[in-house]
Chain A
């Protein structure tokens, strides 16, 4: 079984500050960590490897400084690490990123066929949750998002069964391999890195791929050029000027309390009153129209 886990190195949001003037993230001095959601993907992949054997390749696109994140992943027990890095990749949005990752996975697949790709549900810095599905679409992989549990993998039937958290319940889904899974937070707990794995991680060679090595076919699809997303404005929402009000009412008299509350709302928010009046008028009109039909 060959499993690829896509991870991203992100600034530790617990220690991040926003520049008061430019509203951009001040990354200086903020430690970089593996995107916390990706840890669930790594653990899910390692647990499958423990169960079925095979290898786990951890993959990231990023600047050369992202290498420690890959070594960290190796120290948990991942077998190989690939850093896809190229000056041309800078400024990539989710479309361009998924293109690069998909190309790299295709390249990995040529060497050892890839059965499963894991990603976190989203990153804590971008929060888009688009890269995983983007990769799946480009590689025509079956896509399972928000997965909370891997139920079973049937290698003979080449299929996987998972649980997916959905509104109002849990879906049990089964699909064929190869597939891409985005893992939900809280679905597992990342293991402790062992001392031998830490030594191995420190000595291991991280494959560093530029655009050629990663098998990028169309350089117009990478980096800023390949990114149609435009950030038009970044701003901090201004806090509301109004303060909350306390409305006194008599609990023994709910009707009067409702009346007081409604009056208050209608005075404070004229829009609501207008809408209510409108609805009432419409109802009247339709009623009188109905009356006419009779």
Chain B
């Protein structure tokens, strides 16, 4: 048996935390960009675009993230492609994030009053111009708090990737726990790491929300 000092445990968890943060960042950035595309398809008047986007969103919202990761991991395997846990995790979380963000943003876009859409139309704007100059700038304000709030879900979602062997906080923690027979200590420390990443995000979401409320009351 290898002996672990407290410092060893923390050191290893630090490395895991870096992977958790990195994976979250990648998933959030790529998922946000893809989510914008899904959003445009989802709210398109053309059913050929909106129907697949709706199915996409519903699939990712109504199946467990773990199943999505399995499908990617073993799906690629079936195609004879060897896919690493890192790539599986990145693809899986990106798709998952894009679906949720598209749906969150759709709510914000559709909450913009009908009069704003009609006024843009009456000024002969194209639908792209209408989105860019009228709808999105207004939707952005209301979208920020739930978007930042959702980033917390993404960080916590990365824990699931431990099951496919990605060495983030949880996977690192479980390996150390097995080696040290101190699961409570190790997992408590792992929880602290998650908290350190997530707390500033949710605090930020609350602050932005309060700020926007104050701006609305102006």
Say whether A associates with B.
no
